[in-house]
Amino acid sequence: MVLLDLNSHNKHYNPEKFRSNFPAINDQSVYLDSAATALKPQAMIAATHEYYAHSTATAQRSLHHDALQVTASIDKARQYVADFIHANDNSEIIWTRGTTESINIVAQSYARTILKPNDEIIVSELEHHSNLLPWLIVAQQTGAKVIKWSSNIDELSALISSRTKIVAITQMSNVTGFCPDLATISQITHQYNAVLVVDGAQGIVHHCLDVKQLDIDFYAFSAHKLYGPTGLGVLYGKQLLLKQMSVWQGGGKMLKTASFSDFQPADLPYKFEAGTPNIAGIIGFAATLDWLRNWDVKQADRYTEQLANYTKSQLMKITDIEFYSVDNSPIISFNIKNIHHNDLAILLGEQKIAIRTGELCAQPLMQKLGCHGVIRISLMPYNNQQDVDKLIEAIQNAIAILT
């Protein structure tokens, strides 16, 4: 049963009404660092508070009323996520601490058991360290090789071979905002019987996808970038792959039986969820997804794209500015000649403008771009033109001080 329908014709999107749902927004400051973490809607905050204030109990253990309610809430949240990404079954949804842990699970519980010396893992140059380091580690453990790929489709066709076991790619670059053609990448990957791993941390909030339609084998994202709580992530995996994987951690509730000689792991999804889950986070995220279904997310994405284009048009008026991001993206990365990105960030911070600077956990991509860091603005449907105008004024003030 589909609980979430994000494409209903009855939905709407109004920028100011949407913005009013975020209590952290105020007239004194401007938040343009949503690619790091999104602001949280009141619905999520209220649900988390309700759990801690009135319903505190653990899940899948006790049989008293509150505990049974908590277990039911976690099951409902798992179904919400399955519906959101169009998974076949909610047993394909694993709760983790975030995208980083999700990809590490795939690397250690799947890749480490199937890789042999000289097998290859193709990883794009666009990747956040979270979708690079786990593959470097498992390559060192198994003797496999990590193959650098520019993300160009023609180059993938040239690189991939019978030695390729995994292709790892982002849904959206956290530096350039580029969105690879996942459909074509998936088709090429599966022609060679390799497995496709997609990092959805940046992309999921702007581009809802269908893991079945795209034939994605593993998909990872973090709740906090999708208006949800920190410390919670999702790993989606095809059921067949998850069943053959070894357990990630040992502990409570991830087993059926245990003795001093052996144990039998629990069925999916629980065999990957040792210990007490992030109950408040899961409940808060369910409330977030439930709240999100009231809005036309495609219309919200179009609004954000228009705002991004306005932002870039205003930034282009600045002398000696160099852009690193693609057009029509909510992520805008740039530098200004003879001004260090951190110096600009400090002065913007003093004017209560929140942005991100630095290498953005993507050192290999920075090397390719020929820089040691960038200034990144990241927009969301809760931003508006006034935010952008305040940003531009603050940048001009900073330039006057720094030059």
With residue 310 as reference, give the H or E element that holds it: helix 297-315
Res. 53: pLDDT tops 60: yes
pLDDT digits (tens, 9 = 90+) for 14-38: 999 999 999 999 988 999 999 999 9
Top pLDDT among 60 and 349 is at: 349
pLDDT greater than 50 at residue 6: no
AA identity, residue 65:
H
Q: Is the pLDDT of residue 65 over 70?
A: no
Amino acid letter, residue 135: W
Q: What is residue 27's predicted lDDT score, i.e. its pLDDT?
A: 82
C-alpha separations of 383 from 22, 23, 143, 234, 298 in Å? 11, 13, 47, 26, 16
Mean pLDDT of 251-255: 87
Do the beta carbons of residue 254 and residue 271 sit within 8 Å? yes
Calculate mean pLDDT across residues 341-348. Answer: 97
Has residue 111 got a pLDDT over 80? yes
| 21 in Cβ contact with 42 (< 8 Å) | yes
Q: Which of 250, 241, 257 is nearest to 272 (CA)?
A: 250
For 295-304, what is each residue's pLDDT tens digit?
Answer: 999 999 999 9
Q: Which two tokens stand for residue 28?
A: 């004194």
Q: What is the pLDDT of residue 256?
A: 85
Statement: residue 375 has pLDDT above 50: yes
CA 292 to chain centre: 16
Q: What share of the chain is helix, strand, coil (3-state, %, to 5)?
A: 40, 15, 40
pLDDT tops 70 at residue 279: yes
Model confidence at 4, in pLDDT bands (50, 70, 90)?
very low
Instruction: Please tell me the distance from the alpha carbon of residue 379 to that of residue 26, in angstroms, as a whole number.
Output: 16
Is 70 exceeded by the pLDDT of residue 13? yes
Token look-up 């990365």 returns 333
| Amino acid identity, position 200 | G
User: E strands within 250-387?
Assistant: 255-258, 263-265, 321-323, 331-336, 353-354, 356-358, 374-378
* Weakest-pLDDT range from 47-61, 78-92, 182-196, 330-344: 47-61
Please give the pLDDT value at position 323: 98
In angstroms, how far is CA 311 from the centroid of its own chain?
23
Q: Among 367, 366, 387, which residue's Cα sits nearest to residue 377?
A: 387
Q: Is the pLDDT of residue 84 over 70?
A: yes
Q: Which of 85, 362, 113, 122 is nearest to 218 (CA)?
A: 85
Q: What is the mean pLDDT of residues 54-67?
A: 71
Is 361 among the catalytic positions? yes
Mark residue 64 as left, alpha or beta (left: phi above 0; alpha: psi -120 to 50; beta: remaining).
Answer: beta
Q: What pLDDT, on the 0 to 100 scale, is given for residue 56?
A: 74
For residue 150, what pLDDT band results from cuts at 50, 70 and 90?
very high
Q: Of 179, 208, 361, 371, which is the active-site residue?
A: 361
Alpha carbons 194 and 210: distance in angstroms, whole number? 19
User: Tell me, what's the pLDDT at 81?
Assistant: 98
**What's residue 393's pLDDT?**
98
Q: What are phi and psi of 87, to 5 degrees?
A: -70, 155
User: Do residues 380 and 205 lie in contact, with contact meaning Cβ atoms separated by under 8 Å?
Assistant: yes
375 close to 355: Cβ distance less than 8 angstroms:
yes
- Of 176-180, 211-215, 252-256, the one with minimum mean pLDDT is 252-256
Confidence of residue 69 (pLDDT cuts 50, 70, 90): confident
Mean pLDDT in the chain?
A: 94
pLDDT of residue 177: 98
- Mean pLDDT confidence for 390-400: 98
All domains of the chain, ordered by start, with CATH? Answer: 15-37+296-402 (3.90.1150.10), 55-292 (3.40.640.10)
Tell me, what's the pLDDT at 62?
65
pLDDT value of residue 92: 98
pLDDT at 196: 98
Cβ-in-10-Å burial (0-12, 13-18, 19+) of 338 comes to exposed
Q: In the predicted model, what is the mean pLDDT of residues 41-66?
A: 83
